[in-house]
Amino acid sequence: MSPEYIKEIVSNHKGELGALISILEDIQDRYHYLPEEALRIVAGETGRSLVDIYGVATFYKAFSLKPRGKHHISVCMGTACHVRSAPGIVDEFTLQLGLRPGETTQDGEFTLETVNCLGTCALGPIVLADGHYFSNVKRQDVKKILPKIKSGFVEEPGDREDRLFPVEVYCPHCNHSLMDEQNPIEDYPAISLGYSFNEMRGWVRMSSLYGSHCLESEHPIAADTTVKLFCPQCHAELVGKTACFDCGSPMVKLGFLGGGSLLMCTLWGCNNSEISLNGHHRRDEHTGESREHILG
Amino acid sequence: MVTLTINGLKVRVEEGMTILEAARFVGFPIPTLCHNDGLSPYGACRLCVVEIGQEPKSKLVSSCTYPVEEGLTVRTASQRVLKARGMIIELLLASCPQSKTIQDLASAHGVHQQRFKQEYEDCILCGLCVRTCSEQMMAHAIGFRGRGENRSIGTPFDISSDVCRLCGGCMYICPACQLRCTYNQPQHAICNACANLRPPCIEKEGYNNLMCYMEPCVACEIK
């Protein structure tokens, strides 16, 4: 425990009214519990008596004065969860981790606790682990939950924002699909195109998630370069009639599966793209609100 | 100045007083336990309960924390108040039957029965010691810890405090950590000997052999 860090936390909350709980929360975030020495430093820095701080620290169940593990598991034992066999889940955690509720594993990884209600009774039995809720937990789910907690909840693929959706495009000249299923980007088939600029030629694969600008190309391409794009199947140059709203560069037009077309700006780094369905434009949401106008 | 009615008597008192102060000022007694004139009001024991407002909508409040209001109607000894007060004393008795202060209160308020399990707690959480320590002794050495069932009074981390001067003010003011007169029945729930049972302990056989060193209780004073 470093006294400097505690002092820094206190100074971050200087001047705030009722900052004591925030200070204690910050300390607990760092050390997973409230060390005695830390409380003494907080008392000295804030000018409040140690008794008051100790009273607050012991009043709230969220604070612990005993060292806790890196990962904190709370099993709800409220009435609704209890009747849906929450005690069995506690037993299973006890079995898997070898500790009773309120205890911490020897390696300091896990702390198991039971709580009386997490407020989402309809989803019970509930397990709360490091701020993540698991609902409708069954006894056999415990084995699957533990590795997730241990790995620190790395985002699983597919867990993306809703506004990102995959598109499928084809070449407007040869009607071949431009989707490259062998080389997926972000777990979806990539849009594969050829490019040329400054007498350089190569391939580029872009994420087919609309709104995502993830791509890989054969050569590094400097931003603000206008490139020409080609179909990898028929090698025809992709052209469009419209100019980009943002930069004025020409936009290429790709066929959009399901009718309509996808317009893409050819200025590298501009990332502007539009979907036009039945003549109406849907602008890429990162650049502005959707505008509607008829394609020329 | 604020005009209010206490037990049917119209009185004018200064603004900012509590009902307890106003009632005592005009001479109506209200029993208290956690109240002390030198300390801030806390409202823990609820013994000073009074009834305010008009009948069907009247409510019970603790007079030591309730400031006087213009036109307030207060009854300090209505049936409802006496019933509530009796229950409070009975509950205090259950948690701390060894306290002489509480036994004297029981005697004075005619509490003849004790229907709850005796806990023999050594603290009723009235907060007198905490307030004495911080307000009169300026030490801030003890305070409340935990909550609910686990609430207790003591020093942080249960180790001797470096701001405590061992003045003993907390022990002096404590209503719970004292001995009561038990005659020769220490396990009896209510000492009763005094006002409630006949004959009082001082008239009982063998009283002189007990060598009672206690302050006179209600019965001693009656006699």
What pLDDT digit, counting tens, does each position of B128-171 carry?
A: 999 999 999 888 899 999 999 899 999 999 888 888 888 778 88
pLDDT in tens, A122-144: 987 999 988 889 999 998 888 88
A255 and A172 Cβ atoms separated by less than 8 Å: yes
pLDDT in tens, B29-40: 999 999 999 999
> CA-nearest residue of chain B to A62?
B146
Token pair of A157 as six digits = 């693929």
Q: How confident is the model at residue A273 (pLDDT cuts 50, 70, 90)?
A: confident
Residue B2 neighbours by CB under 8 Å, 6+ apart: B12, B13, B14, B15, B17, B68, B69, B70, B72
Backbone angles phi, psi at A142, to 5 degrees: -60, -40
pLDDT of residue A242: 79
* C-alpha pair distances (Å), B156 with each of A93, A277, A282, B169, B173: 33, 69, 63, 18, 21
Residues of chain B with Cβ-Cβ distance to A52 below 8 Å are: 140, 143
Q: Element (H or E) spanning A123, and its range?
A: none
Helix spans in chain B (H): 19-26, 79-95, 100-108, 128-131, 169-173, 207-210, 218-222
B155 touches A: beta carbon within 8 Å: yes
Q: What whole-number distance in Å separates Cα of residue A54 and Cα of residue B145?
A: 7
Same fold, B2-77 and B128-173: no
Q: How confident is the model at residue B14 (pLDDT cuts 50, 70, 90)?
A: very high
> In this complex, which of B134, B145, B147 lies closest to A54 when CB atoms are compared?
B145
- Which stretch of A82-86, A182-186, B95-99 has the lowest confidence by average pLDDT? A182-186
B112 touches A: beta carbon within 8 Å: no
Give the start-to-end residue ranges of the domains of chain B: 2-77, 93-120+180-222, 128-173
Q: What whole-number distance in Å separates Cα of residue B112 and Cα of residue A211?
A: 80
Q: What whole-number distance in Å separates Cα of residue B129 and Cα of residue A234?
A: 91
Q: What whole-number distance in Å separates Cα of residue A163 and Cα of residue A290?
A: 13
List the domains of chain A with CATH numbers: 3-59 (no CATH), 71-150 (3.40.30.10), 165-283 (no CATH)
Dihedral sign from CA coordinates of A221, A224, A230, A231? positive
Sheet bearing A273-277, strands edge to edge: A169-170, A251-256, A261-265, A273-277, A280-283
Residues of chain A with Cβ-Cβ distance to B155 below 8 Å are: 51
Token pair of A17 as six digits = 């009214």
pLDDT of residue A287: 44
* C-alpha pair distances (Å), B9 with each of A67, A169, B75, B122, B131: 61, 91, 10, 41, 34
Minimal C-alpha gap between B76 and chain A (Å): 35
pLDDT of residue A293: 42
Interface of B with A in 7-26 (CB under 8 A): none
B145 touches A: beta carbon within 8 Å: yes
Taking residues A259-272, report their average pLDDT. Answer: 79
Residues of chain B with Cβ-Cβ distance to A53 below 8 Å are: 156
Beta carbons of A59 and B147 less than 8 Å apart: yes
pLDDT in tens, B166-194: 877 888 888 887 666 666 566 666 665 45
Q: What whole-number distance in Å separates Cα of residue A265 and Cα of residue B161?
A: 72
B144 touches A: beta carbon within 8 Å: yes
- SS3 (DSSP) at A212: coil
Pairing of strands A71-76, A110-115: parallel
Q: How many CB pairs under 8 A join A and B?
A: 34
Q: How confident is the model at residue B218 (pLDDT cuts 50, 70, 90)?
A: low
Pairing of strands B73-75, B2-6: parallel
Beta carbons of A55 and B145 less than 8 Å apart: yes
Beta carbons of B156 and A59 less than 8 Å apart: no
pLDDT of residue A286: 46
pLDDT of residue A295: 40
> In this complex, which of B155, B157, B161 lies closest to A36 when CB atoms are compared?
B157
Q: How confident is the model at residue A245 (pLDDT cuts 50, 70, 90)?
A: confident
Q: What whole-number distance in Å separates Cα of residue A138 and Cα of residue A84?
A: 9
Residues of chain B with Cβ-Cβ distance to A36 below 8 Å are: 157
Going by the DSSP 8-state scheme, the letter that residue A274 receives in this structure is E
Q: What whole-number distance in Å separates Cα of residue B192 and Cα of residue B90?
A: 13
Token pair of A64 as six digits = 């612990």
- Which stretch of A26-35, A71-80, A214-223 has the lowest confidence by average pLDDT? A214-223
Beta carbons of A51 and B147 less than 8 Å apart: no
Domain B2-77: which topology? Answer: Ubiquitin-like (UB roll) (3.10.20)
Q: Decide if the complex's ipTM is over 0.90.
A: no
> In this complex, which of B140, B144, B157 lies closest to A49 when CB atoms are compared?
B140
B57 touches A: beta carbon within 8 Å: no
Token pair of B29 as six digits = 């007694």
Residue A285 neighbours by CB under 8 Å, 6+ apart: A163, A211
Q: How confident is the model at residue A296 (pLDDT cuts 50, 70, 90)?
A: very low
B213 touches A: beta carbon within 8 Å: no
Token pair of B105 as six digits = 């209160």
B160 and B154 Cβ atoms separated by less than 8 Å: no
Minimal C-alpha gap between B144 and chain A (Å): 6
> In this complex, which of B140, B146, B147 lies closest to A51 when CB atoms are compared?
B140
Which of B125, B137, B138, B140 to mutate: most A Cβ within 10 Å?
Answer: B140
pLDDT in tens, B72-110: 999 999 999 999 999 999 999 899 888 888 888 888 888
The residue with tokens 């609902």 is A135
Taking residues A236-243, report their average pLDDT. Answer: 81
Domain B128-173: which topology? Answer: Alpha-Beta Plaits (3.30.70)
> In this complex, which of B143, B146, B147 lies closest to A51 when CB atoms are compared?
B143
B156 touches A: beta carbon within 8 Å: yes
Nearest alpha carbon to residue B218 among B111, B71, B122: B111
> CA-nearest residue of chain B to A64?
B146
Beta carbons of B156 and A51 less than 8 Å apart: yes
Taking residues A36-65, report their average pLDDT. Answer: 91
Average pLDDT, chain A: 82
Q: What whole-number distance in Å separates Cα of residue A137 and Cα of residue A242?
A: 54
Minimal C-alpha gap between B125 and chain A (Å): 14
Token pair of A72 as six digits = 């904190």
Cis amide bond preceding A125, omega within 30: yes
> In this complex, which of B134, B146, B156 lies closest to A50 when CB atoms are compared?
B156
> In this complex, which of A36, A51, A58 lies closest to B142 when CB atoms are compared?
A51
